Structure 1
Amino acid sequence: MIRLPALLILLLANIFFVLSLASGQDKGFQPDRVFPVKALQEDLQHLRYKLETTHPDLYQYTSRKNFVIFMDSLHNAIQQPMTERTFYGLITLLNGKIKDGHTMELLSEATRTYHNRNSLFFPFHVFVSGNRLFVQIPCLKDTSLTRGTEIISINNQPVATIVQQLLDRQIRDGNNLQYARWIVSNYFKEYYSFLFGYPTTFILQYKEKDGRIETTAIGALPKDSIQSYKTINDLQSAVSKKGRGIIYEKWPLAHTALLAIKTFDVDLLESLYEQNFDSTIHVIFSTMQHDQVEHLVLDLRDNQGGDFAPGKLLLSYLIKKPVHYLSGSKEALWILPASDCFKGKLYVLINGGSFSNTAIVSAYLQQSQRAVFIGEETGGNRTRISGDAEEYILPNTKIVCYIASHSYQINPSKSDGHGVQPDHIVIPQRGDIIIGRDPAKAFVQEMIKKQGSH
């Protein structure tokens, strides 16, 4: 499997934060304790050793020589004692050198648990476009900063600087920053806090619709309050997740349907959405035959991947000719078209959150010229991908590190560091956020209308 343990931890922390709050007090724990230089250097050396002995493609994007030079520079930067969070901000700069989305670091479990229970966070769900930041969902009682409001600075620090510092330390596949931007958008409050701390008040400079620049003070909130206000202020957040991990909908357009798959992680699908991947997919494709679907829109946006098996099954229902899957790896096999596979026109929606196994599925559909792709470049690489991350805990700070242990070749080409490119680039804009419009869906609907049902 090529799961994403670190981001799943963040996701589940947001969903099940109440369990964390109720699980007890943090007796005497000091999240800002300072570690001596020797302890920090030992942790860095431990991380270096684990990277060099575990990761199969450590020097894919940065040469061994330059990697050694960079590691030495990190070692030399440890000149005085640091807190865990400061040290974390230093070592996460490695992500811009390794460029592997399955190799990552998180603050220690104790520190994250402490802050989830006791600290306050940035009370907005945001959307990152370039180095600009827009409000997507206000998660507080005061909703004067509405959807689409551009935030210019936070606590007197320009947003462009904040976003760039977060991106510099964020995981990504190769030279593609799509996944990094997607993570910063979806987990801004966590990663902002990891790097910049947990202020009780945010002084925000923002731009009004008429271009005027205004300033306001917003109080930080605990995670449970943020989640509650998000549910109140965003109708989609209040919808039950049951049965919503895999969604099949007939569209009003003749012989057209949507199949949206939010994850290929079978455990997450069962626990969060109460769905079994195999049985759900079998039923859906049987239903599609009954509905005489000729145009299928496959929505793989925000699907961070998961297990190999679901991707293989989905491909068998979509391909028209055999596909040689992950040649040369332990997962290698020929995938054959299912007897009742879909033979109509296929349109695939992708974005920066289309990562890992989702990128693999997308890559094979594109290689076989099976689909038209709409949206944004996938966050996951289209040529070579790593996975099977092993967990290591640094001995002193207890920072949690995940390091990929296997690599998989999707096709024989040398990786250019990029994901699957869309045939039609459709990027959400500020206006789309304000009115809740889905421009990629609108684009594909218009495309199908022009083609008719044949």
Structure 2
Amino acid sequence: MKYILPIILLLVGCSREIDSNRNRFSQKELTTDFEILREVLEEAHHGLYMYTNKDEFNFILDSIQNCIIDSMSVTDYYRLIVLSLTDKIQCGHTGIYPPKGIFTKLIPIDVFVVKDDIYINRIYDSIIDLKGIWKLKSINGFDAKSIFKTLREGIPSDGNNNNFKDRIIEVDFPMYFTQLVGEADTFKLQVIDINSDKDTSLFVSAINRDKLNKARSNYPIRRDNKLDFKIIDGLNTAYLKIGSFEGWRLEQQEFNYDKYILNTFDSIQKLGIENLIIDLKWNMGGDTDKGAYLLSFLYDNPFQFYYKVTASSNHYKNLKYTDKDWKWNFDIRHDHKKNEKGEYVAIGMDNVFKPQKEVFKGEVYFLINGCSHSTASSVSALAQYLKIGKLVGESPSGAYSGYNGGNWIGLTLPNTKIYVAIPIRTFHNAIDSSIYKTNYIRPDYLIKYSIEEKIKDSDLELDKALELIRLKKNN
């Protein structure tokens, strides 16, 4: 079978002008780095061929190697790797990170993404005061459509879930634009007011990460990793926000997750609440047991979260340039056993979770978006599969069948110092995914935002859940 070489690989790798301001490397050094990356990926990444078959993937790898030239800059080499591989691996838990000290000049704007268009959210420049709704046309001559396409190709997601990519663009457009498109001392933005069709050129100076974070601190953040619980008056409804399932993030904010969830459901039972809204928007995942603990208050039968967790091996050879050693390998060998199918199965990851003594019996609505990721996506999938509640929002990151993640190998390429985080496990959700028409998780009530609703900071998912509760109450 013949495969077409990706256009982005041709543009970025084989013909892109070398950035003269970056350190250059010999073809031998870059090829050595790439061969190491390839060896470790092929040995360790359990889901490398989950969405792209092995023959096609090998063709892409060979094509990348053929595009490595002498005196290539680390900037161009990084973009070649990221823009060629990310779209093929299709794994939201695989990260390719640039070496420290490059990509420091960030464009000082945040954006919204609506229907494949980019709109200005904020410009962190005291001189510029935009009023109205401004759609991006170009930055430094790069057309907005090509910028958007490049960012989508370079941001990792499970099964190329575009909702996840678009929400990540909204979270950190400055970083991804600089890493994947280009950096400069000054950025020329061409924007158009969608109401008047007026074109405007804006010039903004680059800022560093510290200054960007300081400027952003004056505004509410989308992902705050917090827990929140409140009663919605007049509807006998409770609202529970779970901003993260990561224990260490919650502990940083002095949240004891298990205690908080236990007290929340104790209050729900005592108050006789009939409807529960669980907000998982912007929840990027975390500890599996925390997701299962939540479901144990909502499902009255024993259940599995994952029916198995598999790894690519139980012994890894290519660890020289990684953060793992023989001790880690020893633990991996004892934590995984080979089954009759030849799979390396993680021991103790197929636990059966028991329901709580008192399980909530009312209506449950899960609010989700593209950044309901990892454990949060599995919670969403299981909630729908087990008929615990309805999903309101857009398709979360992840699939009914599961995702790659868990134990990572951290690889630092010896010459360029590019860092690659490689997940060695695949988490198989305890779901019969064959009953669904698509592998990506489909909400029961799909929510799409207009740019006007984004600018108003509307919460359409919550509005829809409340609408459904009111309709039920009035019928």
- Sort the TM-score into its range (normalised by shorter chain): 0.7 to 0.9
CA RMSD after TM alignment: 2.2
1:66 lines up with 2:32 in the alignment? no
Deviates more, 1:288-297 or 1:369-378: 288-297
For residues 148 and 227 of structure 1, the distance between their equivalents in structure 2, rounded to whole angstroms, comes to 24
Residue 308 of structure 1, CA deviation: 1.1
| Structure 1 residues 73 and 240, CA gap change in structure 2 (3 angstroms) | closer
User: Quick check: 2:235–2:469 contact (8 Å CA) kept in 1?
Assistant: no
1:178 lines up with 2:155 in the alignment? no
1:409 lines up with 2:413 in the alignment? no
274, 279, 282: which one aligns with 1:302: 282
153, 171, 191: which one aligns with 2:138: 153
Give every structure 1 segment of 4 or more consecutive aligned residues whose post-TM-superposition deviation is greater than 4 Å.
414-417
Residue 175 of structure 1, CA deviation: 4.1
417, 424, 427: which one aligns with 2:448: 427
For residues 134 and 275 of structure 2, the distance between their equivalents in structure 1, rounded to whole angstroms, comes to 36
1:350 lines up with 2:368 in the alignment? yes
Task: Encode CA deviations 1:83-132: one digit per residue, 9 max, x unaligned.
Answer: 22211111112111111111120002x225xx5xxx43211221222431
| Aligned residue in 2 for 1:228 | 214
| Aligned residue in 2 for 1:279 | 259
3-state DSSP of counterpart to 1:180: helix
3-state DSSP of counterpart to 1:187: helix
| Structure 1 residues 186 and 146, CA gap change in structure 2 (3 angstroms) | farther
| Structure 1 residues 357 and 416, CA gap change in structure 2 (3 angstroms) | farther
For residues 353 and 259 of structure 1, the distance between their equivalents in structure 2, rounded to whole angstroms, comes to 17
User: Quick check: 2:433–2:439 contact (8 Å CA) kept in 1?
Assistant: no
Task: Encode CA deviations 1:334-367: one digit per residue, 9 max, x unaligned.
Answer: 2222112221100011111011111111111110
Q: What code does the residue aligned with 1:296 have?
A: L
| Aligned residue in 2 for 1:375 | 393
| Aligned residue in 1 for 2:341 | none
Q: Which has the larger radius of gyration?
A: 2
3-state DSSP of counterpart to 1:321: coil
For residues 433 and 79 of structure 1, the distance between their equivalents in structure 2, rounded to whole angstroms, comes to 44
Residue 431 of structure 1, CA deviation: 0.7
| Structure 1 residues 147 and 248, CA gap change in structure 2 (3 angstroms) | farther
| Aligned residue in 1 for 2:246 | 265
For residues 26 and 223 of structure 2, the distance between their equivalents in structure 1, rounded to whole angstroms, comes to 48
| Aligned residue in 2 for 1:107 | 98
172, 181, 203: which one aligns with 1:196: 181
Residue 224 of structure 1, CA deviation: 3.2
Task: Work out the number of aligned pairs and report it.
Answer: 413
3-state DSSP of counterpart to 1:134: strand
| Structure 1 residues 417 and 199, CA gap change in structure 2 (3 angstroms) | farther
For residues 437 and 405 of structure 2, the distance between their equivalents in structure 1, rounded to whole angstroms, comes to 18
Query: TM-score, structure 1 length as denominator?
Result: 0.86
1:78 lines up with 2:68 in the alignment? yes
| Aligned residue in 2 for 1:366 | 384
Deviates more, 1:351-360 or 1:286-295: 286-295
Query: TM-score, structure 2 length as denominator?
Result: 0.82
For residues 85 and 124 of structure 2, the distance between their equivalents in structure 1, rounded to whole angstroms, comes to 32
For residues 185 and 334 of structure 1, the distance between their equivalents in structure 2, rounded to whole angstroms, comes to 38
| Aligned residue in 2 for 1:215 | 201
For residues 180 and 447 of structure 2, the distance between their equivalents in structure 1, rounded to whole angstroms, comes to 31
- Percentage identity across paired residues of the two chains: 27
For residues 190 and 262 of structure 1, the distance between their equivalents in structure 2, rounded to whole angstroms, comes to 23
User: Quick check: 1:140–1:225 contact (8 Å CA) kept in 2?
Assistant: no
User: Quick check: 2:154–2:180 contact (8 Å CA) kept in 1?
Assistant: no
Q: What code does the residue aligned with 1:259 have?
A: L
3-state DSSP of counterpart to 2:79: helix
| Structure 1 residues 124 and 146, CA gap change in structure 2 (3 angstroms) | farther
3-state DSSP of counterpart to 2:32: helix
385, 389, 411: which one aligns with 1:392: 411
30, 35, 39: which one aligns with 2:25: 35
Deviates more, 1:220-229 or 1:158-167: 220-229
Map 1:83-94 onto structure 2 (within 5 A): 83-92=73-82, 93-94=84-85
426, 451, 454: which one aligns with 2:472: 451
For residues 249 and 320 of structure 1, the distance between their equivalents in structure 2, rounded to whole angstroms, comes to 24
Unaligned stretches of 5+ residues in structure 1: 1-29
Q: What code does the residue aligned with 2:433 have?
A: S
| Structure 1 residues 295 and 175, CA gap change in structure 2 (3 angstroms) | same
For residues 441 and 343 of structure 1, the distance between their equivalents in structure 2, rounded to whole angstroms, comes to 20
